[in-house]
């Protein structure tokens, strides 16, 4: 397969969208490093995919533990000598997607959400960028959300106008800013950086009320991870369609 020698790292991949994207990428012939903070759950998830005949390895990686960044880089350097795909998938919503009023949003909620959803992707990407630069054409995918769209949040006619959760929404808006800035820095390289909105998917965060199943939810991130040389960079997408910032 054309992708047989590509190596992908996906954070928060022991369940939900991360797990589904690991499956889809591995099915496309990519060697997947399934990263998760819980050793037992992560190893069990990787083993399950291995039993499906897929090339998946487990790596313990807590995105809020900076000591794990160096260990991840060392693991990838030793085993592969490069990284072709990084999907920053791990994320939380401290107040739930329903959120709380701005006046009631706590400092703790903001800080914990930004730590996982914004600061961690930046610092992990910085730590792994030397390995991504060793790839022939690396792809970085930041798993964002339509709830990070400032344009849609400000539009009374948009479908998300009445859904406000300051901690989560602002962390994803900040993540989108990271996408724009990193794509600009890497504009003269073959590395592409994009934000993905997977959709409202049946996950622990999305709940069973969500209309999308996991296989459909995984498509956007996987497509951006496998972009060819003519694909976009510095964009925000859902199922191939651009979204407003």
Active site (annotated) includes residue 19: no
- Given a contact cutoff of 8 angstroms between Cβ atoms, the answer to whether 17 and 217 are in contact is yes
SS3 (DSSP) at 7: strand
Q: How many CB atoms lie within 10 A of CB 50?
A: 15
How far is residue 221's CA from residue 87's CA, in Å, rounded to a whole number?
Answer: 8
Active site (annotated) includes residue 168: yes
- What residues pair up with 241 in beta bridges, in sequence order? 238
- For residue 23, give the nearest of 63, 51, 1 by alpha carbon: 51
- Which residue in 172, 192, 202, 219 is the catalytic one? 172
Those residues with Cβ within 8 angstroms of residue 113's Cβ, 6 or more apart along the chain or in another chain: 92, 93, 94, 95, 167, 168, 171
- Which residue in 69, 168, 192, 219 is the catalytic one? 168
Query: Which residues are known catalytic residues?
Result: 168, 172
């Amino acid at each position: 397969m054309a992708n047989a020698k590509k190596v992908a790292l996906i954070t928060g991949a022991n369940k939900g969208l991360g797990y589904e994207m690991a499956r889809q990428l591995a099915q496309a012939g990519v060697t997947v490093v399934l990263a998760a903070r819980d050793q037992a759950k992560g190893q069990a998830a990787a083993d399950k995919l291995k039993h499906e005949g897929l090339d998946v390895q487990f790596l313990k990686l807590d995105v809020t533990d900076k000591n794990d960044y160096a260990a991840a880089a060392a693991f990838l350097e030793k085993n592969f000598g490069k990284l072709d795909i990084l999907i920053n998938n791990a994320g939380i919503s401290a107040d739930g997607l329903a959120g709380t009023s701005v006046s009631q949003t706590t400092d703790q909620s903001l800080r914990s959400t930004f730590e996982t959803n914004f600061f961690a992707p930046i610092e992990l990407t910085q730590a792994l960028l030397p390995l991504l630069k060793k790839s022939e054409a690396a792809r970085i995918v930041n798993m964002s959300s339509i709830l990070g769209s400032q344009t849609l949040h400000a539009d009374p006619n948009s479908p998300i106008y009445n859904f406000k959760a300051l901690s989560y929404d602002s962390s994803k808006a900040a993540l989108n800013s990271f996408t724009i800035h990193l794509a600009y820095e890497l504009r003269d390289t073959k590395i592409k950086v994009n934000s993905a909105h997977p959709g409202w998917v049946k996950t622990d965060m999305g709940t069973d009320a969500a209309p999308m199943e996991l296989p459909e939810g995984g498509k956007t991130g996987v497509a951006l991870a496998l972009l060819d040389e003519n694909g976009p960079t510095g964009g925000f997408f859902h199922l191939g369609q651009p979204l407003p910032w």
